[in-house]
Amino acid sequence: MSESSNEMPQLNIGDIVTGTVVKVEEKQVLVNIGYKTEGIIPISELSSLHIEKASDLVQEGDTLELYVKRMEDDEVILSKKAVDAEKAWESLEEKYRTGDVFETEIKEIVKGGLVADVGVRGFMPASLVETYYVDDFSDYINQPIRVKIVDLDREQNRVILSHKDVIQDELNEKKHEVLQSLEEGQVLEGVVERLTNFGVFVNLGGIDGLVHISQLAHEHVEKASDVVAEGDTIKVEVLSVDKDNERISLSHKRTLPGPWANIEDRVTQGDVLEGTVKRLVNFGAFVEVFPGVEGLVHISQIANRHIGTPQEVLEVGQQVKVKVLDVSEKDERISLSIKELEQEQEASEVKQYEKDEDQSGFQLGDFIGDKLNKYK
């Protein structure tokens, strides 16, 4: 330098000076600060994070703001870390106070969590990384991540970060938005999240609603897995919304064609169907011929003889053949008969018997006729 020694700046411990990097060694950096000797930044004073060699952080020609940490004889020990930390703490205290979300980079994986560079060493416990369990954190190294500060203590040099809280806040906001937008009667698509013995929970894009097992299908459902599986996308209708308790009741059944839809295309008068006796009443029997479709066999149509009660002939659960007398989609009604099938069966048997008789009678007549002719 051209300055004489009496023009050298006065340096004191605690001063902040600006210097230019003149040499980068493995474990220290030499800096020109306009003093009679070059300042030394030990590697431990370069960053609050662990670095292997000084060149990982600074290069020759870099201009740095530095804190005068120690002066021994003509040796000046400087710290970049102290200046960065001072600036960082002011910023971190403000972010902590306001709950700001900001982006940082993960620099290390340590026991129990991750370390981020937030100007000082920020620690993120493993439990605060995601809303779910993470087995391997290697993908997070040198990656940007959005965080908020959940605990701060300058005296203890403690900064606790959370990415999980950021995600949770966003989920809660989304949940609130979806909840406010829901109305009774809306038809939406959702993803089946969870099956239980009483129904299924469906994610509507931020909040779950319950489809009770009775609302899964028009027919009786024994267990939810008979109808849906986790991960299925299904249509649902909103039955009710309790915004205070965040409870949503849904129906999948209401989005499906009813069991009676297009019944007249599937069944016509005179068809013979198989069904199951579901209920016996004093005026007849209800027989299920399709899932959710029951037809009435009036007591007068149960048997080809007079009966006092349907129980004399039928029992619940019995499989029976029935003939369709009449069908109406509008009235959701099918009239059925067992008696007509019995009568037809009897008539068929009689006809077959008569046919057999006719054939044997005819042959016998021929035989007798031949014999008689001989006596003519």
The pLDDT score that the predictor gives to residue 185 is: 93
Instruction: Identify the band that residue 358 occupies on the pLDDT scale cut at 50, 70 and 90.
Output: low
Asked if residues 288 and 249 have their Cβ atoms less than 8 Å apart, the reply is no
Average of per-residue pLDDT across 54-75: 84
Q: Which position has the higher pLDDT, 191 or 28?
A: 191
Report pLDDT for 370: 54
Percent over 70 (pLDDT), the chain: 92
The more confident residue out of 348 and 260 is: 260
Instruction: Assign 161 a pLDDT band (cuts: 50, 70, 90).
Output: very high
Residue 372, pLDDT above cutoff 70: no
Q: How far apart are CA 183 and CA 237, in angstroms?
A: 10
- Residue 93 CA to its chain's centroid (Å): 37
- The predicted model gives 256-268 an average pLDDT of 86
pLDDT of the residue at 5: 42
Please report the pLDDT score of residue 109 as a whole number: 92
Q: Kindly report whether the global pTM for this prediction surpasses the value 0.85.
A: no
CB of 200 closer than 8 Å to CB of 224 = yes
The kind and range of the H/E element at 286 are strand 284-290
Q: What pLDDT does 27 receive?
A: 86
**For residue 375, what pLDDT is reported?**
46
Residue 147 pLDDT grade (very low, low, confident, very high; cuts 50, 70, 90)? very high
Q: What angle do CA 261, 296, 254 make, to 5 degrees?
A: 30
Q: Is 257 helix (H, G, I), strand (E, B) or coil?
A: coil
Give the pLDDT of residue 356.
66
Contact yes or no for 284/301 (Cβ under 8 A): yes
**Res. 241: pLDDT tops 60:** yes
Residue 347, CB half-sphere, CA atoms under 13 Å: how many? Answer: 7
| CATH classification number, 99-168, choose in 1.10.3720.10, 1.20.120.80, 3.40.50.460, 2.40.50.140 | 2.40.50.140
Residues 240, 243, 247, 252, CA torsion sign: positive
How confident is the model over 190-232, as pLDDT tens digits?
999 999 999 999 999 889 999 999 999 887 889 999 999 999 9
Question: Please, are residues 176 and 228 in contact by the beta-carbon 8 Å criterion?
Answer: no
Sign of CA dihedral 300, 303, 308, 313: negative
CATH architecture of the domain formed by 263-341: Beta Barrel (2.40)
Domain definitions of the chain by residue range:
5-83, 99-168, 182-255, 263-341
Average pLDDT over residues 34-61: 83
Worst-scoring range by mean pLDDT, 54-58, 105-109, 127-131, 324-328? Answer: 54-58
| Residue 271, burial from CB neighbour count under 10 angstroms (0-12, 13-18, 19+) | middle
**DSSP reduced 3-state for 270:** coil
Q: Under a CB-based contact definition with an 8 Å cutoff, are residues 295 and 322 in contact?
A: yes
Using 50, 70 and 90 to split pLDDT, how confident is the model at 112? very high
How far is 193 from 195, CA to CA, in rounded Å?
7
Identify the pLDDT of residue 99: 93
As a whole number, mean pLDDT of residues 6-12 equals 63
Q: Is the pLDDT score of 130 beyond 70?
A: yes
Residue type, 183: E
Q: Write down the pLDDT at residue 366.
A: 53
pLDDT in tens, 303-354: 988 899 999 989 999 999 999 999 998 888 999 999 888 888 887 777 777 7
Using left for φ > 0, alpha for ψ between -120 and 50, and beta otherwise, residue 99 falls in left
Cα–Cα distance, 22 to 170 (Å, whole number): 47
Residue 101: exposure state from Cβ atoms within 10 A (0-12, 13-18, ≥19)? middle
Q: Is the Cβ–Cβ distance between 79 and 25 less than 8 Å? A: no
Q: Which of 53-71 are b and which e, b meaning 16 or more Cβ less than 10 Å from the residue's Cβ?
A: ebeebbeeeeebebbbbee
Residues 154-178: what's their mean pLDDT?
Answer: 92
- Decide if 5-83 and 99-168 have a common fold: yes
CATH architecture of 5-83: Beta Barrel (2.40)
How many other C-beta atoms are found inside a 10 Å radius of the C-beta of residue 43? 18
Is 80 exceeded by the pLDDT of residue 265?
Answer: yes
Judge whether residue 175 has pLDDT over 50. Answer: yes
CATH number among 2.40.50.140, 3.30.499.10, 3.40.50.2300, 2.60.40.10, domain 182-255: 2.40.50.140
Pairwise CA distance, residues 164 & 171, whole Å: 10
Q: Is the pLDDT of residue 250 over 50?
A: yes
Say which range, 17-21, 212-216, 295-299, 366-370, has the weakest mean pLDDT. 366-370
